[in-house]
Amino acid sequence: MKSVIFDLDGTLADTSADLIAAANRCFRDLGHGDLLNPEEDAETAFHGGKAMLTLGFSRIGEHDKALVEAEHPKLLAHYDADICRQTKLYPGAREAVAELTARGYKVGICTNKPSGLAEKLMGELDFRDAFGSLVGADTLPVRKPDPAPLVEAVTRLGADPARTCLIGDTETDRLTAQAAEVPCVLVTFGPAGEDVRHLGPDATIASFAELPDVVDGLDL
């Protein structure tokens, strides 16, 4: 059985504004004001909470890793409390997933977002039921770019791990697919834009309308 596995943040949905808002809440609580910009720092948001905290603190000359570790649970709590205020699915995501399913592919999610937050967000977006599996950062002892979470997402679909592909937006996704020895399709509509081409994916897409035919062309 063939499958298509999706990254979440920056691939299925633009979550950057809500992620940055949670980080800025941490900075404000410490008396620093907003240290991140929702537009300029969107790409950093897709690298996770610790990346956002590290960048923000660096802008005030603070480089204490212990401070980042201490603030990270608070960031996750702020994000959990207001997870879907500005987040939106990328145009065509629902239609592409529906078309892939209609063409006989099983579909799942493999994300480095904690699984509870991923489940909550997909529920609030009313999109969770479209996917047969969801594997998050804490589902297994390892996370992407280790290939195990990708393999787990495929296995939970009852599909063949050798006949899958990963749809993502970052080097982490490219390295994950490479480690699993499966094709990778990267989107160019995220903050990294056309720069993802330099990562050497098997294909890129500028819109979700292209995805079903691109996946067919991978001959999984």
Amino acid of residue 150 = L
Residue 162 and residue 142 in contact, taking contact as beta carbons nearer than 8 Å: no
| 195 labelled catalytic | no
Residue 116 and residue 136 in contact, taking contact as beta carbons nearer than 8 Å: yes
Distance CA 11, CA 88 (A): 11
Give one DSSP letter per residue of 203-219, joined into a string.
EEESSGGGHHHHHHHT-
Distance CA 210, CA 101 (A): 15
From residue 68, give the alpha-carbon distance in Å to each of 12, 17, 63, 65, 150: 27, 20, 9, 5, 28
Active site residues: 7
